[in-house]
Structure 1
Amino acid sequence: MPKLKRSESDERATDFVESLDRGLRLLQCFGTNAGPMTLSDLARAAGLPRATARRMLLTLQYGGFVSGDGKLFSLTPHVLTLAASYLRSNQLVTVLQPVLDRVATAANEISSLAVLDGDDVVFIARGGPARVFSSGLEIGYRLPAFCTSVGRAMLGQLDDIELLERLKRMKREALTPQTVTEPKALLARIVADRVQGYALVDREAEPHFRSISVPVRRYDNVIVAAINMGAHVDRVPAKELVVRFLPLLCEGAESVGTQLL
């Protein structure tokens, strides 16, 4: 009798390493509080039995990712090697870092690169003028995609039906009095942004900040990221974002398409 071929879902289920998944979930739970956390707090946050969480923490401690005295546990700087590996191996960062630096120098403002991660955007690179950074979004900073210019620039790749369904499923909490949260209103704005080729968000993600973004497309025209520039509302008017910043961002995004696989 011929051997039945396993389906892809069966293979994923068989290959799934539950202990690794639990350990990674436990690492992520440290970000829920500032400072050391107790075993009970971590187990509760990760949804794990206390004994299981303890074994995971001891394993992570052995690997140098966690420090603890048996009662309180903290992440160690060794955790940053995971982020460093991502940044060193990420083609987007390698290709776009010179672009961010060039754009930032030309505008004398900070520029950033972001990607989608679920319903959030994550900033993975930034460029700045020669002066020391004094403000701006740090690498690793997360924001909801629906109310950010980088998020809307990337979400515009979805067709209207898929986009509306995704917006409805998202957690859409107002971050400022100006935040648009109604799905159909968001759809209309993102569709308009898609047509004009850029997204401008004014005080929706942060109360005194406005930003402008353009999508970054790889060789086959698929949007894989977005680059942006922004400024405090008292310092840079919205019109200046379009007149001065937008051409720099468009030139930068268009210059890398053939380099991205």
Structure 2
Amino acid sequence: MPKLKREDGGEAATDYVESLDRGLRLLQVFGTRPGAMTLSDIARASDLPRATARRILLTLQRGGFVTSDGKLFALTPQVLTLASSFLRSSQLVGVLQPVLDRVAERAREIASLAVLDGQEVVFIARGGPVRVFSGGLEIGYRLPAFCTSVGRAMLSQFSDAELRERLKSAPLQALTPQTVTDPRRLVAMIAADRNNGYSLVDREAEPHFRSISMPVRRYDDVIVAAINIGSHVDRISVDEMIARFLPLLQDAAASVRPQLL
């Protein structure tokens, strides 16, 4: 067991466990490319010594999270229990999932729930007009916050000064020809979203996709997530998105607010 450094007052200065951090980092490497990987590939991608990566992989294999044929390593379905634990324990998902399903049925498009994680958004739930999903963003999918409607809806909780500071450290890389990367324009656009109470992003994150999002507020008015409806540009115009989808999202966000603690 690692020893904890202590301050003069006797309190632990850090509870950091390096081996756990390395193990989690190594698990994330598998999501960077399809298929099984060699030990050398995993060590290189996780920036770990080969011997360290091997020990971690063998530990994960014993726990049932990794399988190997002696040369290649791959994740097992056991890894999904980590994500399902979050989904089962998340109040947001529990409260919003039936709401997303209703919104999706009425819109006849996929509705999604996302949270802010640093400079990115993570999609944690979605509903579809039917229970067999054939498209849309997968649960766990990440995108930059600055160029997505869910991201801008959540970023609207910050003041203009706070936004400027956040954008200084954000990798403002264009994902499509329409992506806005100028920090001054972004601050102005997010400020407009704040005033409007919603965000609409047109082909900035994906070339043929537009979406509209509402911030999700808990009982004390703090923004904790965002819900959105997205569509291919050939199916829904910007005006129709505002006319048809915005009222659905507004009603959905208002209905869950008293339930979120």
TM over 0.5: yes
- Take 2:38 and 2:123, find their aligned partners in 1: how far apart are those partners? 30
Match of 1:62? 62
Q: How does 1:114-133 map to 2 (within 5 A)?
A: 114-130=114-130, 132-133=132-133
Match of 1:5? 9
- Take 2:10 and 2:181, find their aligned partners in 1: how far apart are those partners? 44
Match of 1:36? 36
- Take 2:69 and 2:172, find their aligned partners in 1: how far apart are those partners? 39
Shift of 1:71: 2.1
- Take 1:156 and 1:120, find their aligned partners in 2: how far apart are those partners? 14
Superposition misfits of 4+ residues, deviation over 4 angstroms: none
TM-score, with normalisation over the residues of structure 1?
A: 0.94
Shift of 1:62: 0.3
Change in 2 beyond 3 A, CA 1:131/1:115? closer
Shift of 1:131: 6.9
TM-score, with normalisation over the residues of structure 2?
A: 0.94
- Take 1:143 and 1:166, find their aligned partners in 2: how far apart are those partners? 16
Match of 1:46? 46
- Take 1:151 and 1:92, find their aligned partners in 2: how far apart are those partners? 17
Match of 2:225? 225
Compute the RMSD of aligned alpha carbons. 1.3
Q: How does 1:98-137 map to 2 (within 5 A)?
A: 98-130=98-130, 132-137=132-137
Shift of 1:32: 1.6
Match of 1:242? 242
Q: 5+ unaligned residues in a row in structure 2: which ranges?
A: 1-6
Match of 1:212? 212
Question: May I ask how many residue pairs the two structures share in their alignment?
Answer: 255
Deviations 1:76-101 (A, max 9, x none): 11100101111011000000011111
Q: Look up the SS of the partner of 2:146 in the other structure.
A: helix
Shift of 1:164: 0.9
Shift of 1:12: 4.6
- Take 1:142 and 1:215, find their aligned partners in 2: how far apart are those partners? 17
Q: 5+ unaligned residues in a row in structure 1: which ranges?
A: none
1:206 alignment partner AA: E
Structure 1 residue 171 and structure 2 residue 174: aligned? no
